[in-house]
Amino acid sequence: MGKSAEKPVSTARPGRAKGSFSTKRALVVLGVLVLVVLLDFFLKDIVPDSSVRQLLMLAACNVLVALSLNVINGMAGQFSIGHAGFIGIGAYTSAVLASNMHQSFGGGDPSFARSFVVVPLCLLASACMAGLFGFLVGLPSLRLRGDYLAIVTLGFAEIFRLVIATAQADTGKGNGIFTKIAAALSSLGGQNGYQGVNNAGVPLYAGPFWVFGLAALIGVVAWRIKFSGWGRALRALREDEIAAAAVGVDPTRYKVTSFVIAAAGGGIAGGLMALMRDGLGIVNPDNFNFQTSFDAITMVILGGSGSVTGSAIGGIFITFTVKAIELLQGSSVVQDLRHSAEWLDLNALRMIIYAMVLIALMVLRPEGMLGERELFSKKRKKPEGPANAGGSSKASSSAEGEGDGKAKAGVEAPTGTGG
8 Å CB contact between 55 and 320: yes
CB under 8 Å, gap of 24 or more: what pairs does 156-159 form? 156/82, 156/85, 157/81, 157/82, 157/83, 157/84, 157/85, 157/88, 157/288, 157/290, 157/293, 158/82, 158/85, 158/289, 158/290, 159/85
Q: Looking at residues 266-290, what average pLDDT do you find?
A: 91
Residue 221 has pLDDT above 70, yes or no: yes
- Beta-carbon contacts of 369 under 8 Å, excluding residues fewer than 6 positions away, are 302, 303, 304, 310, 313, 314
Residue 97 has pLDDT above 80, yes or no: yes
Q: Looking at residues 170-181, what average pLDDT do you find?
A: 70
Which has more confidence, 137 or 92?
Answer: 92
CA distances (Å), 363 to each of 81, 357, 358, 360, in order? 22, 10, 9, 5
Which has more confidence, 51 or 172?
Answer: 51
Q: Looking at residues 257-272, what average pLDDT do you find?
A: 94
How would residue 57 be classed by pLDDT, with cut points 50, 70 and 90? very high
Query: How much is the pLDDT for 140?
Result: 75
Which pTM value belongs to this model?
0.81
8 Å CB contact between 105 and 114: yes
Query: How much is the pLDDT for 247?
Result: 86
How would residue 272 be classed by pLDDT, with cut points 50, 70 and 90? very high
- Say how far residue 338 (Cα) sits from the centre of its chain: 37
Of the ranges 139-153, 181-195, 389-403, which one carries the lowest mean pLDDT score? Answer: 389-403
Domain boundaries, the chain: 48-288
Side chain identity at 263, as an amino acid letter?
A
Percent of the chain whose pLDDT exceeds 90: 33
Query: How much is the pLDDT for 409?
Result: 41
Which has more confidence, 92 or 247?
Answer: 92
Residue 265 has pLDDT above 90, yes or no: yes
What does the alpha-carbon distance between residue 242 and residue 19 come to, in Å, rounded to a whole number?
Answer: 43
Q: For residue 18, what are the β-bridge partners?
A: none
Residue 174 has pLDDT above 70, yes or no: no
Q: Phi, psi at residue 298, to the nearest 5°?
A: -65, -40
